[in-house]
Amino acid sequence: MKPKIYTLNCSNVLGYLGEETFKVAQQKCKLCNKEIPEEIKFANVELIIENYNGEDIFCPQGALIITENFYKELVAQELKGFAPIKVTVKKSEYYNGIEELPKFYCLGILNSKVLNIPIAYDYSERCSLCKSYILQFNADKMKNMYRENSENQIHLQVYFDSWEREDIFGFVDHPEFGITEKFLKVLEKFNAKNTIIIPAEWI
C-alpha cells in the first residue's frame, strides 16, 4: 500500500545562517543545465539565532533545523531519509528569547530527486537526460512555491517510482519538503508553529 504523503513548509526562521555554514555545490544537468541535487545541501551549519521560545522546528534559508528531542523521536520511530548535521549556535547581538537553548540538528535530506508535476511554474517537456521538467516563469503561480496556509491549495502530484521509501525527502521541481504520514505523526507531538502541511498525491 502506498503511504499518505504531504508537503511541509516551515515558515519559522528565527535567525539566519552564519559565515561558517558550508553549502555543498550541486551538479548541473549537462543537457538542460538544471541543478540536480546529488548531495546533502549543507555539510556544516552555523546558526545566528535572533529569537527562540521553545520551537522544535524552523527553517532559516532552506536549512531544516530541529531540536535534539525531535531528532531522538525520529530515530526512535525508525524514520528514514535524513542524516543529522551538527549546528553551531550563536546568539545575535539583538537576541530576544529564552536564556538556555537546546541542542539543535539540521536534517540533511538524503533524497532530493523525487519527481513531481510543477505547480509554481509553467512547464513543457521533460529533459531526456535528468527527467525533470523544463520550467518557465509564471508570476501568477509563484505563490505556490512556499504556501502560507493549507486552505484550498493544489495537491502536489508526485511520481511514486522516483521515491525511495524515505519519510522526508525533497523534490526536483518544488521547494517544499515531502513527508510521509509517519513523519507527520512525530511532528504533531512537538512545537511546530508556522508549519504548513498540505496533502500530496501519488501518480
Interval 135-166: pLDDT, tens: 999 999 999 999 999 999 999 999 999 999 99
Does an H or E element contain 182, and which?
helix 181-187
Mean pLDDT in consecutive groups of 10 residues from the start of the chain, 203 residues:
96 94 92 87 96 97 97 98 97 95 97 95 91 92 93 97 97 96 98 96 98
**pLDDT for the residue 57:** 98
Check: CB of residue 170 under 8 Å from CB of residue 177.
yes
pLDDT tens, 92-109?
999 999 999 999 999 999
Give the list of residues 6+ apart from residue 117 with CB closer than 8 angstroms, or none: 123, 133, 156, 157, 173, 203
Residue 1: the pLDDT is 86
- In this prediction the pTM is 0.93
Handedness of CA 97, 46, 111, 136 (dihedral sign): positive
pLDDT at 131: 86
Question: Residue 152 has which C-alpha cell?
Answer: 484550498
d(Cα 22, Cα 57) in Å, to the nearest integer? 20
- Phi, psi for 70 (deg, rounded to 5): -65, -45
Is residue 106 within 8 A of residue 74, CB to CB? The reply is no
**pLDDT at residue number 176:** 97
Other Cβ atoms less than 10 A from the Cβ of 172: the count is 20
CA distances from 70 to 34, 39, 167, 200 (A): 33, 23, 14, 23
- At 37 the pLDDT is 83
What is residue 124's predicted lDDT score, i.e. its pLDDT? 87
Rounded Cα distance, 39 and 197, in Å? 25
